[in-house]
Amino acid sequence: MRTGILVAFVLFVFAALVYSRIMAYSLAPTMKPADFHGLPVWYIPIAYLIDYFSHGWICLLFAFVVAGLIYEFIPKEAITKYMSGNRVSGYALALATAPFLTVCSCTMVPLFAGVLYAGAGIGPAIAFLLMAPASNILAILLTGEILSWELAGVRIVASVAVALAAGLVISKTPWGRAIEKEHQITASNRTATLELVKPPTDERLWAALKFGGHLGKQILPYFILGLIAVSYVEAYLPEDLVGAYLTGVTGVLVASVIGGPLYTPTLVEIVLGRGLWDLGMSKGALLAWLMGQPYDVANALAVSRIARWKVVLNYMVIAWSGSVIFGLLYGILTGSL
Amino acid sequence: MGRTVNVEVIGVNPPCARCDATWKNTEKAVAVVKTEGIDATVKKLDIISKDVIQKYGALVSPALALNGAVKIMGRVPDPNEIARLLRETAS
């Protein structure tokens, strides 16, 4: 009975998204900068929030439900087992699973430490760390819905390339090797066993939805604050300023620099990116902006507790260069630099 | 009787909301089974410490281990479930 209700709810959420697709109904905010002219100052965020949520609730609901389901049903024990394996499978798993395992930031640093200490070493650990925030499932779903699916796809490909490059480069550096040597422990004397208990399906479904709700509770307050900020950006930021500084090669550089420190794990960067895009930011700059996340400060601080600052600086530089290179490439290829 | 269970709650430090919830539920469950004569000692472990990874390998937080075997990983169990596991382990 309970399973039935839960399954019905999940099906409803999926159906709502499919229906919105078939009807070509926009899930992104539809207000354009010009619509804000003449509105009183206090009313601007209200109008924007109403506009956003009347369109965006399906997309947000879908994103949180899917994130919860994936996190609950992904076979975690198999992943953690193979992550402790050799290098090649370490890289492959780190890149393939990071997006699904890390919707909650509190799992990211432990897994980084796990990969580093227990087996695959510093390269896959760094790759995992960079891949995780760059393309976690929530960020990709919202990038697709609010910006465009083309951009979401490019974001994944670029993140994989940058994460792989950073992992390979750092595992060759003397300081990277030093950290690896210091932390490597032999897995052979592991004394404990995994005997995970599987609860019945209805409990797992409920747990998945509860986790989706937990994510929503954590993220939505910041997301709404972000939307309020975006409404003022759209209303007051002059278009020629965006045209001058957020297009061309300068645009990619500027976007990649301000994208990093502004990043909070709250998906705000996606909506803010949408606002700036509406005001005329180029697609190249937009990609650089979105890829700015992995070298944000909070993330770096957590990692520096395990790896040294040299490694952290090293991967920040690689991530930053990656965002510039892919921003420029994407801008040139799409003719929107 | 002397039926004892060694309980380890493995989470991140500083604690995240989900690890805290697991810790609280564990304490509730321990209080319940105490009345049934099961004596459980609960320890909090840091998931990124070398000792933990040496013993258990990479884990997803929060995790719960009973007598050195990881029973739950990456989700928050409710007090009833933990109590049930404690009884199973003790018998």
The ipTM is 0.73
Per residue in A149-184, pLDDT (tens digit) is: 899 999 899 989 998 998 889 888 888 888 777 766
CATH classification (class only), B3-90: alpha beta
Chain B residues with beta carbon closer than 8 angstroms to that of A196: 70-73
Indicate the helix (H) or strand (E) that contains A298: helix A297-304
CB-based contact, A214 to chain B, within 8 Å: yes
Secondary structure of chain B as H, E, C letters: CCEEEEEEEEECCCCCHHHHHHHHHHHHHHHHHHCCCEEEEEEEEECCCHHHHHHHCCCCCCEEEECCEEEEECCCCCHHHHHHHHHHHHC
Per residue in A194-236, pLDDT (tens digit) is: 777 777 777 888 888 888 888 888 888 888 888 888 888 888 8
Residue B9 to residue A118: CA distance in whole angstroms: 20
pLDDT at position A89: 76
Nearest by CB to B58, from A72, A114, A195: name it: A114
Q: Does B1 have pLDDT greater than 60?
A: no
Residues 6+ apart with CB under 8 A from A263: A133, A269, A292, A293, A296
* CA distance to partner chain A, nearest, from residue B53 (Å): 6
Cα dihedral sign for A336, A139, A257, A303?
A: negative
Burial degree of A237 (CB within 10 A; 0-12, 13-18, 19+): middle
In a mutational test of the A interface, the residue from B8, B19, B25, B59 whose CB has the highest number of chain A CBs within 10 Å is B59
pLDDT at position A330: 93
* CA distance to partner chain B, nearest, from residue A307 (Å): 12
pLDDT at position A44: 85
Q: Are A190 and B68 inside 8 Å of each other by CB? A: no
CB-based contact, A220 to chain B, within 8 Å: no
pLDDT at position A327: 92
In a mutational test of the A interface, the residue from B49, B75, B82 whose CB has the highest number of chain A CBs within 10 Å is B75
Chain B residues with beta carbon closer than 8 angstroms to that of A195: 69-71
* CA distance to partner chain A, nearest, from residue B20 (Å): 12
Q: Are B18 and A306 inside 8 Å of each other by CB? A: no
Q: Scanning every residue of chain A, which has its alpha carbon at the shortest distance from the alpha carbon of B15?
A: A106
Per residue in B60-91, pLDDT (tens digit) is: 878 899 888 888 888 888 898 899 999 888 87
* CA distance to partner chain B, nearest, from residue A290 (Å): 26
CB-based contact, A110 to chain B, within 8 Å: yes
* CA distance to partner chain A, nearest, from residue B55 (Å): 5
In a mutational test of the A interface, the residue from B9, B43, B60, B82 whose CB has the highest number of chain A CBs within 10 Å is B60
pLDDT at position A184: 66
Per residue in A116-126, pLDDT (tens digit) is: 877 677 888 88
Chain B residues with beta carbon closer than 8 angstroms to that of A187: 57
CA dihedral of residues A273, A277, A278, A281 (deg, nearest 10):
140
CB-based contact, A177 to chain B, within 8 Å: no
CB-based contact, A187 to chain B, within 8 Å: yes
Chain B residues with beta carbon closer than 8 angstroms to that of A183: 50
Per residue in A10-51, pLDDT (tens digit) is: 888 888 888 877 776 666 677 777 787 777 888 888 888 888
DSSP β-bridge partners for residue B69: A193, B66
Nearest by CB to B48, from A104, A196, A306: name it: A306
Query: Structure pTM?
Result: 0.80
CB-based contact, A302 to chain B, within 8 Å: no
Q: Which has the minimum average pLDDT: A189-193, A249-253, B56-60?
A: A189-193
Residue A34 to residue A277: CA distance in whole angstroms: 14
